[in-house]
Amino acid sequence: MGSFFTCALLGLCLSFLLLPVSSQFRIPPAVEELLGPVAVNFTFNDTDPDHSNIIGGRPVTPPDKYQFLVALSNPEWAAQRRGQFCGGSLISSRWVLTAAHCCDVFPTIEVIVGAGDLRDPTQGTAVNVSSIILHPQYNARTMSNDVCLLYLSRYVTSFAPIPLDTGLYARARTPLTVAGWGDTNASFAGVVNPPVPMEVAVAVVDTAECNSSPAGYRGAVTSPEMMCAGFITGGRDACQGDSGGPLWVTTFDGSPKVVGVVSWGYGCAQPGLVGVYARVATFVPWIQSVTGISVPAEEGGGETPTVDEEGGERPLALSPFAVSGQSDDDGSPEGDHPKELEVLVGNPMTLLP
């Protein structure tokens, strides 16, 4: 996933000043020490037309198909792809789930819901972020607990959020989808961030296999809050710029559940080095304690298919998922107000009034 997908991020990295800021990235120090620096070609070419997909994937059609997929934007970069630098998941009408490493850089963040084509400023709804809430155990060195909650300045009720997986769909070989506006070039020979989101089908990789495969992570994926997804043979992955975005399952009834948050990787789509994600199920209690969102217990009723190492395409169509709950006086669903944020997370960084 982007050279160390923390990488995916935006990157503030080291000495890679030849790249525009939105195309740079940083590498988790603990993993770089274990595996060494990533050998990549950093020659930037924004005119190279030979890149049409997220690594091994395809464009989302129509671009605003997944209503829960949001773009994180730095308003100061608005002239360039609307300032997009990370992705996120709309998990209620007031809350966005993303990666912690997407939340500790800029003093001001906007969320573009229904962004679709970043070339069209009329697509989607831009919403200010009122508060950034990092997971209290987030560790930038190891990338453990790489999750963050964004509290929006107003409700967005015309877009369908995605419910949270509580553990049923994080089993090895479960087929999943990841999407975002990140780099489509695995070699970094010409960093290309597409104007429309891309999607790719991947599968959960057992953590032991993720750590022990030849040319793999050598035990770097040690935290139970992390999960691996992709294919050991390589070829399909998220990449830099996709950080914070959703990794989700399409359940037996056609509805989505977010299983992971794009976190980091060592290069993109390389054999033995699959993408590493924050495992959503382990954070459900924390998310509930902060947001008050109701997360129903998983229901049975259908087997989630598994895939072999060769992968293969699968249906990606989703059914709309409505916000549940009673209405407050302002007509907005209950459960979307922050609960004692000062007590839970100290003093959240307030970005905008």
Q: In this predicted model, what pLDDT tens digit does every residue of 187-226 receive, in sequence order?
A: 544 455 667 888 989 999 999 988 887 677 888 887 899 9
pLDDT tens, position by position, 276-330: 999 999 999 999 999 999 888 775 444 445 555 444 433 333 222 222 222 333 4
Burial of residue 6 (number of CB atoms within 10 Å: 0-12, 13-18, 19+): buried
> What is the mean predicted confidence (pLDDT) over 65-86?
82
Residue 142 included in any domain: yes
Residue 228 lies in a domain: yes
Beta carbons of 257 and 163 less than 8 angstroms apart: yes
Q: Is pLDDT above 60 for 152? A: yes
Place 51 in a pLDDT band, splitting at 50, 70 and 90. very low
DSSP 49-100: ----SSTT-EE-SSTT--TTEEEEE-GGGTTTGGGEEEEEEE-SSSEEEE-G
Residue 87, pLDDT > 60, answer yes
| 44 occurs within a structural domain | no
Residues 267, 250: Cα–Cα separation, whole Å: 27
Q: Which of 108-112, 152-156, 252-256, 295-299 shows the lowest per-residue confidence on average (mean pLDDT)?
A: 295-299
Question: What amino acid occupies position 266?
Answer: Y
Whichever domain contains 262, its CATH number is: 2.40.10.10
Q: Is the pLDDT of residue 340 over 50?
A: no
Q: How far is CA 247 from the centre of its chain?
A: 7
Is 314 part of any domain?
no
| CA distance linking residue 334 with residue 313, whole number of Å | 38
The answer to the question of residue 39 being in a domain is: no
> What residues make up the domain containing 96?
58-291
Tell me how crowded residue 126 is: count the other CB atoms within 10 A of its CB.
Answer: 17
Nearest residue to 203 via CA among 235, 163, 245, 180: 235
Number of other CB atoms surrounding residue 46 within 10 Å:
11
pLDDT at 72 over 80: yes
Residue 94 · residue 336 · CB < 8 Å = yes
Cis preceding-peptide flag for 59 (omega within 30 of 0): no
Structural domain contains residue 311: no
156 within some domain: yes
**Which residues participate in catalysis according to the annotation?**
101, 146, 243
**DSSP letter, residue 210:** H
Collapse the DSSP code of 144 into the 3-class scheme (helix H, G, I; strand E, B; otherwise coil) and give the result. strand
pLDDT tops 50 at residue 9: no
Among 283, 25, 23, 37, CA closest to 170: 283
Per-residue pLDDT averaged across 128-146, rounded? 94
DSSP 229: E
pLDDT band at 123 (very low <50, low <70, confident <90, very high): confident
Please identify which residue in the block is written with the tokens 């794009």: 262
Q: What pLDDT, on the 0 to 100 scale, is given for residue 301?
A: 41
Mean per-residue pLDDT, 157-185: 89
User: Any bridge partners for residue 227, and if so which?
Assistant: 277
Residue 246: both structure tokens together: 């959703």
Higher-confidence position of 262 and 310:
262
Please provide the average confidence, as pLDDT, over all residues in the chain. Answer: 73
Number of domains in the chain: 1
**pLDDT at position 94 over 90:** yes
The strand pairing partners of 72, in sequence order, are 86, 111
Q: How far apart are CA 118 and CA 101, in angstroms?
A: 22
Could you give the CA distance from residue 210 to residue 217 in angstroms, rounded to a whole number? 7
User: Does residue 259 lie within any of the structural domains?
Assistant: yes
